[in-house]
A and B are shown apart, each in its own frame.
Chain A
Amino acid sequence: MTLQLASVCKTYRRFGKPPVAAVKLLDLEVADGETMALLGSSGCGKTSSLRMIAGFEAVTSGAIKLKARRIDTLPPARRGVAMAFETYALYPPLTIAENIGFALAADRSARGSAASRVRQIADLLEITPILERRPAGLSGGEQQRASLARALIRNVDLHLLDEPMSQLEPQLRAVLRGRVKSLLRERGYTAVFVTHDQTEANALADRIAVMEGGVLQQCGTAEELRERPSNTFVATFFGEPPMNLLPAIAEPAVARLTGAPEIALPLAVPLALAEGQAIEIGIRPHRIQLGNFPLRGIVLSNQWLGDEAHIAVEFAGRTIVAVSPVRIAVRAGDAIGLGIDPASLHVFDRMSGCALAHGGMRA
């Protein structure tokens, strides 16, 4: 493991105010060459975690190790990390080229090749035309790319990126995400980045750590988060459209829907559930089939998004969403059949939100 966080806590104490536990007992391991996303909404603890790794915040308790070396007591400059800040933090009097090459100037081994390395990373991030300009007057997207270049040009043990592409022009996003991901892989960089945007986490990361309320909810690949979410928070936070949830009551081998007691959905594995246990049944929009099926719902809307259709359907007293890869000719008010395969159903405990089963497998 390149980076290890063990039981890391961060509690902010301000005079006259109750303490705020921003990060609670965070355990996280990032492998050599891996890209990890810390994903969550504002206040979830992701940025505090990143700043503790960088050394801009002290840990309240716990330990952080980088390449088997304890770093949480070291000053930031001695940790062997490079960081790209959400606020860019470019030096105003320096040109973009000087900003990007700044850390290389101190690095004797890089001196001869510094200019060509700056040029190379600038080409990759499409900022070559602005290399001789100063930060003032550049767009947010341009400054953000310069800040990213300044971090990625350095060959360090760990790259830390705070919302690295949040301001990127949408027209550049797809290509630059691809190039940055390819660069991280080619150079074998280990990276941790913070984002509130699940599409960015999904696009760039090998694994994603979902945080909420200072607590790590789940850490896994995008596929694991989608196919085996550990709780209802992850299930409805990750994935667009989010997973559909239907409240139900457990019966032997079936789930009886609370909103439509006449419907009992068969479950793929007979669970050792207490009969009468309150559960939630989850099904991902991409797994619902539409057509001639006995389960019926009423279409509320049918939106074509250019590459897939999202169909909202009133079913069992809820609005659920199904995704179709092709256009289908249904309109609001039409009745429609829903094909739900027991192997695609997720079962959660309604009280705790914890996953009990995913398709045929116990959670």
Chain B
Amino acid sequence: MLGNFEYKKVRSVEEGSRCLVDAGGSGAILAGGTDLLVEIRNSIKSPSLLVDCKGIEALSAFEHSPIETNIGASVPLNQLIEHKSFRETFPALTDALLSIGTYQLRSRATVAGNICNASPAADSAPVLLVRGAVVEATGANGVRSIPIQEFFTGVKKTSLQLGEIVTSVRLPAESGLRTAFLKQQRVRGHDLAVANIAGAYTPESNTLRMAIGSCAPTPVLMEPIPVDSNDVGAFSAHVAGLVMKAVSPISDVRASAAYRNAVLPTLARRIVYAVLDGQGGGN
């Protein structure tokens, strides 16, 4: 037995939203459950009501076109990872999703769940940030489109209001974008990030966007950086310096602040090499 809660499978977003409001803040949305049920088991969370959103048909929709990609809140990660065109369009995001948990967990886990859990180490977050994802949410006050950089407000905290349900994560198409994702973890396989980082280079504007996870209370999106590709080595060192100014690592169960401070510049440089030179490493 897991905790002490009621379960309700809802058929519409409106019904789900009402359930959450009626539960007065002690309700929780159940999508894949791969974070929520662990937190309940470990007594970190004790919701009185789980609102299963997987009965809402619209939330299972996955739309992928050359113009836009819309990932319904109930779509499991493996459905995305195993979609050939998705993989080709979003290689860095695919890498990030593949680094989450295990195959079994990815059968259940969702992108919406990953961001709603709002761990500073959420592996999808850095790529979603550099790709300008938009979180679609519906609540009592209607529909809101929340830019992902406004979604995370603190450790395990989001800008969602009581009764608001994330319905999908939208990714605008951006042609020519070159992206990369790296994750530092203690063991190969199933592990959370000591640090994760993503970069997106836009040739048109010649700018680089960088985002870092697990090194601040929320995933961090940096201001776009003008690119100097004449000397990639020097530029990568410049970017690494900017990255270190953007983060505030702490020591926790996974790594010390000193380790994070040591590893992050290298990860940042590797991202620069990957997106500018198509190389995997920058040392």
Q: Is B truly associated with A?
A: no
| Interface residues, chain B, with chain A CB atoms under 8 Å away | none
- Give chain A's interface residues, CB within 8 Å of chain B: none
